[in-house]
Amino acid sequence: MEKSEGITIPHEKPWRYEEGEYTVTRGSAWSGPGCHLGCGVLMYTDKDGKLVKVEGDPENPMTEGRLCVRCLDMPEIVNHKDRLTYPMKRARADRGKNKWERVSWDEAYDIVEREFNAIKDEYGAESVVFIHGTGRDIAPWQSRLCWSFGSPNYGNVLSGNACYLPRVAGMAATTGSFWIADVAQHFPDRFDHEGWTMPEVMFVWGNNPLIANSDGFFGHWVIDLMKRGMKTVVIDPRVTFLAAKANLHLPIRPGTDAALALGMLNVIINEEIYDKEFVDCWCYGFDELKERVQEYPADRVAAITWIPEDKIVRAARMLAAAKPATLQWGLAIDMTREAIPAGQAIAALFQITGNIDCPGGLVPPAEIMAYSGGWGRDLLPPEQEPKRLGLDRYRLLQMGFKQSSPDVLIETMETGVPYEIHGAHFQTTNGIACMGADPHRVYNAFNKCDFIVSVDLFMTPTIMALADVVLPAATFAERNGIRVGDGPQRGEVINKVTQIGECKSDMQINLELGKRFNPEAWPWEKPEEMFTELLKPTGYSWEELREEAPVYLPVEYYKYKTGKMRNDGQPGFQTATGRIELWSTFYNAAELDPLPYFEEPDPGPGSTPELFEQYPLVLTTGARNWSYFHSEHRQIERLRRMHPDPIVQVHPDKLAELGMEDGEWVWIENQNGRAKIRIESTPILTDPRIVACDHAWWRPEGDPEKFFDVFEYNINNLMVYSPGKSGFGSNYKTSICRLYKLEDGE
């Protein structure tokens, strides 16, 4: 590709300059610590090279100088006394004890190389699993390490892969692509870009973008567009900031989004207010969809979702009338067991109204690298692929990405069928505190491994419980890097400004380890050469891009008309029928229902009424907050002060009924387990029957040998491994519970 492929508007300031007594360096805040977004930062270092201040970069076209509190607090995070600063090992017999021994990098690498190779020789490379967290930045490097080692088992411990991947895989299966809200993020001149149109209405569905900034979408863009007149419809069981400001808020019972979407489809189809031309020319299976949605009249849907009927009808009409309309959806869609049909129904709303591949509608992200596919897939020996865990059970695992099924992984570790797992590589994951649906199962399953290495910034419950070797990783201020992946992609440079202890970047660590396992797969001398390799589609080298602002790939609209959506160059979409499949030939072949449907969340008031009598509150978990990224940041004093304890949000009326008070510590419990939590009385819950609580709690100040009290505070004690029929989706946001008082001394 020519360099002219990549488009930039260069910065006025150089990438590094002096300001008073400080050196200021431009960068991107793409993990660690965890975050999806990688906002533009200016990092201030003093004459000793210490990071003392972080500010937003006003010249960054994506974020224009805006930052969250977690980035503003980077100096405290980077320089924190609890950082892991050198490699450590622990004797196998001491696993779980706080008995670590400092070792050199070379000795640590020697141990990892020896142990993993011994497992590979005896049981096969598939017996070593490579487990990631949401460390979006680290994924390409860990997948490459996994596949070049020869293991097909790159994955995580999140039941049903219930974060983003259900939406990605579902869209890939039914349309051949993934789709994101077009808010001009692909253009360096943003809202002024000629040819871009502002969405007339945006549906914010199961997502809280101002806090989460998830999957490459900066939440403030919603506000920017509201100021320009864009309308919003928010679908959320809580009155979030955006819900309070929305033109229409649909307060939904958790886990019933599929029913809502099917009810809206019913209105749009029966009132014939869909885009007939788009449906005729580009969609497949409309008549079957029309028949299916007859099962979901608005009054029935109102009873299921707890949303007033007139609001459902109004939302449907608003969507159909808007040209264009767009969708910003989130995790709540993935975190219900039947996430695939829920995503299918929601997507169909925007498909039959013709909001596809048009300015201000939904567009496929321009990708510098096929991020969700991982990096280095060609390195996996072909005979290893069929061993990927879950592949024989879930055909959808072939769609869009190359990971194992977390649920089958845990089961395999417990049973040894079809083969035993003996080693694990953890990088950016805190499985016992955060990802695992059942922390005790995760602990027991991995504790069977002969050897575990973990790469992290801080000591965690998972490392304390399970690791034999721990490697200290660098934050974004301590390394060079690029930001390419995740949603709409831009090439952007991360610059190292400081050094903490012996920490190394994940890229450096994986390059050094990779060379030991498979040197041909890691031909580079330093990470910057790998960055240039990944930046190839832009035409820029890493060093060249450093001088520029972010680089963007050009995007075109209506590619389905010009043959640019299909591999064979024909008009249409990359599916078996060449159309958007409202009735999916892929699901049909995979013995799944080809049409979207709603299934009552299980357990729940509709599916298990008797159990619901015992646990009479509908529970949603893990709504994001300002202070924390998942299990991270609990050590950071300023952030902890904003949100000192795990909380469950309860409606004041319900509290009065329970005889409980704001701020009180209680047990939250269901049929699977219980956790300790503190009550926050708040009317933002739209129905007193619903409660919403934090996830990923542990206490760095707690007893290390009780794994920092993780088993006492982790809400996932109440969860189970239980994916949907497709293997995707699980119930993290749709469960039931009861609250009761602590006994004395608890």
Ligand X SMILES: Nc1nc2c(c(=O)[nH]1)N[C@H]1C(S)=C(S)[C@@H](COP(=O)(O)OP(=O)(O)OC[C@H]3O[C@@H](n4cnc5c(=O)[nH]c(N)nc54)[C@H](O)[C@@H]3O)O[C@H]1N2
Residues 52-91 that bind ligand SF4 (CB under 6 A): 67-68, 70-71
The single residue among 6, 27, 32, 38 that binds ligand SF4, judged by CB under 6 A, is: 38
- The option from ligand SF4, Mo ion, ligand X, none interacting with 716 (CB < 5 to 8 A, set by class) reads ligand X
Q: Could you say whether residue 213 binds ligand SF4 (CB under 6 A)?
A: yes
Only one of the segments 128-136, 450-458, 644-652, 680-688 lies at the binding site for Mo ion (rule: CB under 5 A); that segment is 128-136
Read off the DSSP letter of residue 435.
I
Q: How far is the CB of 40 from ligand SF4 (least distance, A)?
A: 9
- The option from ligand X, Mo ion, ligand SF4, none interacting with 508 (CB < 5 to 8 A, set by class) reads none
Number of residues that bind ligand SF4 (CB under 6 A): 10
Q: Could you say whether residue 693 binds Mo ion (CB under 5 A)?
A: no
- The option from Mo ion, ligand SF4, ligand X, none interacting with 733 (CB < 5 to 8 A, set by class) reads ligand X
Tokens 């993993």 sit on residue:
116
Closest CB to Mo ion among residues 188, 729: 729
- The option from Mo ion, ligand SF4, ligand X, none interacting with 39 (CB < 5 to 8 A, set by class) reads ligand SF4
The single residue among 24, 37, 363, 590 that binds ligand SF4, judged by CB under 6 A, is: 37
Query: What's the CA gap between 210 and 241, in Å, rounded?
Result: 8
Paired with 55 in beta bridges are 42
- The option from ligand SF4, ligand X, Mo ion, none interacting with 67 (CB < 5 to 8 A, set by class) reads ligand SF4
Q: Could you say whether residue 43 binds ligand SF4 (CB under 6 A)?
A: no
- The option from ligand X, ligand SF4, Mo ion, none interacting with 38 (CB < 5 to 8 A, set by class) reads ligand SF4
Q: Could you say whether residue 29 binds ligand SF4 (CB under 6 A)?
A: yes
Q: Under a CB-based contact definition with an 8 Å cutoff, are residues 449 and 153 in contact?
A: no
Radius of gyration of the chain (CA): 25
Q: Could you say whether residue 163 binds Mo ion (CB under 5 A)?
A: yes
Closest CB to Mo ion among residues 332, 507: 332
The strand ranges marked E within 84-143 are 88-89, 101-102, 128-132
Query: What's the CA gap between 620 and 235, in Å, rounded?
Result: 14
- The option from ligand X, Mo ion, ligand SF4, none interacting with 71 (CB < 5 to 8 A, set by class) reads ligand SF4
At 469, which helix (H) or strand (E)? strand 469-472
Of the CA atoms within 13 Å of residue 187, those in its CB half-sphere come to 17
Query: What's the CA gap between 524 and 515, in Å, rounded?
Result: 9
Closest CB to ligand SF4 among residues 33, 723: 33
Measured from the Cβ of residue 273, the count of other Cβ atoms closer than 10 Å reads 16
Q: How far is the CB of 257 from ligand X (least distance, A)?
A: 5
Q: Could you say whether residue 35 binds ligand SF4 (CB under 6 A)?
A: yes
Q: Site residues (CB under 6 A) for ligand X?
A: 31-34, 36, 133-135, 138, 158, 163, 205-208, 211-214, 235-238, 240, 252, 254-255, 257, 330-332, 427-430, 434-435, 455-458, 460, 473, 506, 620-624, 628-632, 692, 695-696, 715-716, 732-734
Among candidate residues 151, 603, 741, the one with its CA nearest the CA of residue 388: 151
The one-letter code for the residue type at 544 is: E
Residues 129-148 that bind Mo ion (CB under 5 A): 134
**Residue 28 CA to its chain's centroid (Å):** 19
Closest CB to ligand SF4 among residues 55, 544: 55
Closest CB to Mo ion among residues 336, 686: 336
Q: How many residues does the chain have?
A: 746
Closest CB to Mo ion among residues 134, 185: 134
CB neighbour list of residue 552: distance below 8 Å, 6 or more residues apart: 6, 7, 8, 186, 187, 188, 366, 490, 491
Q: Could you say whether residue 442 binds ligand SF4 (CB under 6 A)?
A: no
Please state whether 637 falls in left (phi above 0), alpha (psi between -120 and 50) or beta: alpha
Checking DSSP bridges between strand 180-181 and strand 362-363, what pairing results, if any? antiparallel
Q: How far is the CB of 714 from ligand SF4 (least distance, A)?
A: 23
Q: How far is the CB of 383 from ligand SF4 (least distance, A)?
A: 41
Query: What's the CA gap between 102 and 125, in Å, rounded?
Result: 28
Among candidate residues 325, 363, 349, 362, the one with its CA nearest the CA of residue 233: 325
Residue 673, preceding bond cis, omega within 30 degrees? no
- The option from Mo ion, ligand SF4, ligand X, none interacting with 551 (CB < 5 to 8 A, set by class) reads none
- The option from ligand X, Mo ion, ligand SF4, none interacting with 29 (CB < 5 to 8 A, set by class) reads ligand SF4
Query: What's the CA gap between 638 and 320, in Å, rounded?
Result: 46
Phi, psi of 11 (to 5 degrees): -65, 150
Angle, in degrees to the nearest 10, between helices 339-352 and 286-293: 110
The DSSP line for 518-543 is: -GGG---SSHHHHHHHHTGGGT--HH
Closest CB to ligand SF4 among residues 275, 478: 478
Q: How far is the CB of 723 from ligand X (least distance, A)?
A: 14
- The option from ligand X, Mo ion, ligand SF4, none interacting with 158 (CB < 5 to 8 A, set by class) reads ligand X
Residue numbers of the site for ligand SF4 (CB under 6 A)?
Answer: 29, 35, 37-39, 67-68, 70-71, 213
